[in-house]
Amino acid sequence: MAFIAFLILFPLLPAAMMLLVESPAVRKGIIIISAIAIAVISVDLAFSAPKDAPHYVNSAFHSLDNILLAGELILACTLLYLCRKLPFRKYWIPLMVVLQTGMVLWIELSGKLHDVKTQHVFFYDNLSLIMAVIIGVIGTLICVYAVGYMNQYHHHHHDIPDRQKLFFFTMFLFLSAMFGIVFADNLMWLYFFWEITTLCSFIMIGYSGTEEAVTNAFRALWMNLLGGLAFAIAIVYCVTVLKIIELDDLLNSGKSAAILLPVVLIAFAGLTKSAQFPFSAWLLGAMVAPTPVSALLHSSTMVKAGVYIIIKLAPAMLITIPGTMLTPGILIALIGAVSFLACSCLAISQSNAKRVLAYSTIANLGLIVLCAGVGSYLALWAAILLLIFHAVAKALLFLTVGTIEQQIGSRDIEDMHGLISKMPRITIIMLIGITGMFLAPFGMLISKWAALEALAVSDPFLPLAVIFGSSATLFFWGKWMGKLIAITNVKSDAESRICHEEWFVLSTLAGMTIAICALFPLVGSYFIEPLYGHDPILSKEHIIMVAILLGLVLLVPIAFFFNWKKLRNAEPYLCGAGIKDNYSQFTGSLGTKEWKLSNYYLEKYFGEARLFKLSVVISTILIIITFTIVCYGAR
Amino acid sequence: MGQDNNMKLLLAALAFVILTPVVCGLLAGFDRILTAKMQGRYGPPLLQPFFDVLKLFEKENLMVNQFYHSFYLICYLIFMVASGILFFTGQDLLLVIFAFTLADIFLVLAAYSTNSPYSFIGAERELLLMMSAEPMLLIAAVGLFMATKSFKVGAIADVADFSTISHLPGVFIGLLFILTIKLRKSPFDLSTSHHAHQELIKGVTTEFAGPSLALVEIAHWYETAIMLGIIYLFFAANPVIAVSVIIAAYFIEILIDNTFARFKWELTLTSSWTVSLVFGGLNLIVLFIIEKVKI
Amino acid sequence: MSFITKSPWIVHYDGSSCNGCDIEVLACLTPMYDVERFGIINTGNPKHADIFLVTGYVNTQNVDVIKNIYRKMPDPKVVVAIGICASTGNFFRECYNALGGIDTIIPVDVYVPGCAARPEAIIDGVVKALGILDQKKNKTYIPPAKPEGIIK
């Protein structure tokens, strides 16, 4: 109980201090100390808490309700204030804020809650503990990185006003809200924290203040508000019709189909938060934000809240909709499948590194949603493994891209050609991140393996989506790796300009990526098994095989330290037109010419123009079908 | 009992590592003789592939850009052998395919690291070929799971009747289609080939000299063994029939190699994915529906 | 025991020939003469090749190209000059752009005269080159002295 209160409340302290402190050195000190505190406490909680069953925190304090009321009002006013400059035709954005807040306030003030059991306000179970570690460790690492990054950012961009106080305030507020989401059992509190993350996302995306940033911030706002609206409607339905306000009551209310409508509504909120199709545009637009924002909000943590809630609702989504043979789980899984397949293919045609990472994020979240929708024990295992590994690897990749962008001035993959000669250590860290995303025996591959084995048991359609999507991911990661490792022997001192915070965080995350895949059996048996039972992926044979492969892969870098005998050097073969000892030029017809190597982008097949629109259409149809069927079943 | 089992696994692994170069080298020699006969020539001696590899070990190795790219190729060979050992000791088929992909990535990385135009094109096309072939391989694994209720190669090979092939005819045909890709035969020899093709020079293997090239050749033999092993699984009930099917499939591949011109990459990608979806995917769906109806 | 004679791979370059000798070289690969019987493969890549077959003489434009290709071949290697143009420059050697036969810029091991050289002669030359290759491998090769009295 004390830990939960600490984790939710403590980040508010540095957040408030951020607004007051002027000196950057003091700010840096506060951030580092707070980061260490939060990380240590969250890991301690995860290891010391009993893992057999969920533990609830009873609320005897009625003043908590008043705090919630006040919080809601402040949040709504803040959002409306931020929308004040919107043109009149976008009236529907503030309207959504008003509707949501109105619904929730009505529930609180009209006394409906008196008939409802409001005993458990907060809780924790193994899934919450896993999420808490992710938020506590990775979230704080990103905050530390941001200290060094934002200094350089403002150094390079003199035209952007320095609002670092607001920036770090929002970061810590966000951490607090995320802890609130994973520990909240009362749906009203969950909704409140949910909307705080929406607010944080809006502030951070619009940080640079340029027109593009503001447009994208508002796009993120309305898509997330749509989810919030769905959440609010779900709460109203739960309180008035079902007389339930707590998540555990919702999930344990027996197998009745009455809970399906709010479950699907909350799942819809999860889909918007994790940028599944048709709501993917906001995540792609959010890439204009500074890199720590992309890492924290839009790959490791906030979007994980969306899939977290879907994983939590997975048991409820297995209930068959009356009058049909379908479950909402299958329909949600189909939406996840569309996102996974479409985004894996779309990433092939992108050359902007952050867009590739964004598409990859949405794709992996789609895979988690797919597994959660299927809902079997094996599939949920795979979903949680994916969640953990993706959080670490994606944070690493985003932060490394941020560092690279600051040094070479571009985030285009074409400009990263031959990076291993210019910035060898950063490139190696980047390679660890990329291989961690798609190669055996690293974590994401293990999770995909688990997912495929889990899905093959139920039906062939979903495995087909996973198979084709997974083949597409191999292409774009492979060609990115190739660009990075091309040896050009062009030296540069760019690495010396990278600050200590960035080095520390990047190396830690790289180490974590490797360590976690070595430790995945322990994670599995310690955390996930008590929740969902034993997974055959963890059978002794599999672990031995993966360990052998991992051992072999880890031996690879050791070979770089060997003294390979000096061989004769020969330039690349260019049909004789090469120049002696020249590795980038050849004799053309009018003198020497330089060659330039560029990747395939396969625009015709995987370009955004066609594929994006098609996926939006298909996913919208799926959502409409889902709601129609569920409403039909609920009447 | 556990000790006994471990001994058997160790023996299987050793047999694979030692016998494959011999068997697949002879198969490659047989391939060249048959190709020559189809073209009205005599062809080289049967042991020619061994002469080639041994000669390559006697040649000087070259560096490009002062980087010892053979290092990536050594990894390619090691992981290909590891993938094969996983397969022939009866482990999980999905892990075998993923390790196989890992090995292939090392080949691609070796080509990329040379920063040479022809190697680069070869590497991009090799990734494209991997992307084209991988769906069918994974569909085959899922199909074998649906037919035999296990992902383990050992369990699949122990099936006593021909139910595997009778349940998975479409998957088998699709697998033969992408076998052409994996064996680097025309029309899918986009990234490198044994015959000189001018637009690529040698694609992926352009910058590899001497021992490096020998490693690629030996790894290709192991790759052939694994692919033919997957074909074997479909007829595992009767080893004689299975081996005959393998020989027939290989003969058809040689025939296709000699009669088709190289496809463009667009056609390769679209045809592979279409075949995987139509033959493989439909097979799985039909199998699923049949099992649902029975229950 | 050296395997280099059992699997000699060739790379062929046309310096500035009339293509007559080139056609004869390619004829060796056809079913009529079938040099693959000896394990010979025409790789288009010097890094894979043992024998460098050159036709045509050296001119100012292809000096660097020929040296480039020769440099990229890994040891041990042999050069076979095919046709009289590659051997001595033929009657073109006094042209303004001609620098002479191949041996003016790289060491040639076997000369196959003829205009155009016949496939049988080419195969004969390649077989001689194999013997020299074997000697180079065993490090017992002594290059012959350059012939006296070449008319420039």
Q: How many CB atoms lie within 10 A of CB B254?
A: 19
Instruction: Walk across the sheet containing C9-14 and list its strands.
Output: C41-42, C9-14, C51-55, C78-82, C110-112
pLDDT at residue A489 in the model: 80
pLDDT tens digits along A19-61 = 888 888 888 888 899 999 889 988 888 888 777 777 877 765 5
- Return the half-sphere exposure (C-beta side, CA atoms, 13 A cut-off) of residue A585: 11
pLDDT tens digits along C57-109 = 999 888 989 999 999 999 899 999 999 999 988 888 889 989 988 988 999 99
**Residues C45, A577: C-beta atoms closer than 8 Å:** no
Of B32, B58, B61, the CB nearest to C2: B58
Contact residues, chain C, for B258 at CB < 8 Å: none
Length of chain C: 152
Range list of β-strands (E), A110-211:
120-124
The whole-angstrom distance between B100's CA and the closest CA on chain C is 26
State the ipTM, two decimals.
Answer: 0.94
> For residues B96 and B87, is the Cβ–Cβ distance under 8 A?
yes
Give the count of Cβ contacts less than 8 A between chain B and C. 77
Is C94 at the interface with chain B, CB within 8 A?
Answer: no
Of C13, C66, C72, the CB nearest to A570: C72
Contact residues, chain B, for A472 at CB < 8 Å: 131
What does the alpha-carbon distance between residue B155 and residue A279 come to, in Å, rounded to a whole number?
44
Is C68 at the interface with chain B, CB within 8 A?
Answer: no
Contact residues, chain A, for C64 at CB < 8 Å: 576, 579, 587
The whole-angstrom distance between B80's CA and the closest CA on chain A is 11
Is B117 at the interface with chain C, CB within 8 A?
Answer: no
Best-predicted range by mean pLDDT (A112-116, A335-339, C1-5) = A335-339
Kindly report which listed range (A288-292, A332-336, A487-491) carries the lowest average pLDDT score: A487-491
The whole-angstrom distance between C148's CA and the closest CA on chain A is 31
Contact residues, chain B, for C70 at CB < 8 Å: none
The whole-angstrom distance between C71's CA and the closest CA on chain A is 8
pLDDT tens digits along A253-311 = 766 777 888 999 999 999 999 999 899 999 999 998 888 988 888 778 889 999 999 99
**Residues B60, C6: C-beta atoms closer than 8 Å:** no
pLDDT at residue A481 in the model: 94
Is C72 at the interface with chain A, CB within 8 A?
Answer: yes
Measured in whole angstroms, how far is the alpha carbon of residue B195 from the centre of its chain? Answer: 18
pLDDT at residue A165 in the model: 87
Contact residues, chain A, for B135 at CB < 8 Å: 467-468, 471
Model-wide pTM > 0.90: yes
The whole-angstrom distance between A595's CA and the closest CA on chain C is 18
b/e per residue A378-401 (b: at least 16 CB within 10 A): bbbbbbbbbbbbbbbbbbbbbbbb
Nearest alpha-carbon partner for A171 in A312, A12, A392: A12
Q: How many CB atoms lie within 10 A of CB A585?
A: 16
What does the alpha-carbon distance between residue A309 and residue A336 come to, in Å, rounded to a whole number?
14
Alpha helix (H) ranges present in A375-498? 377-408, 419-422, 424-438, 443-456, 461-485
Best residue of B70, B138, B292 to probe chain A, by most A CBs closer than 10 Å? B138
Q: Subunits that touch chain A (at least 3 Cβ pairs < 8 angstroms)?
A: B, C
Strands A585-588 and A591-594, bridge-based pairing? antiparallel
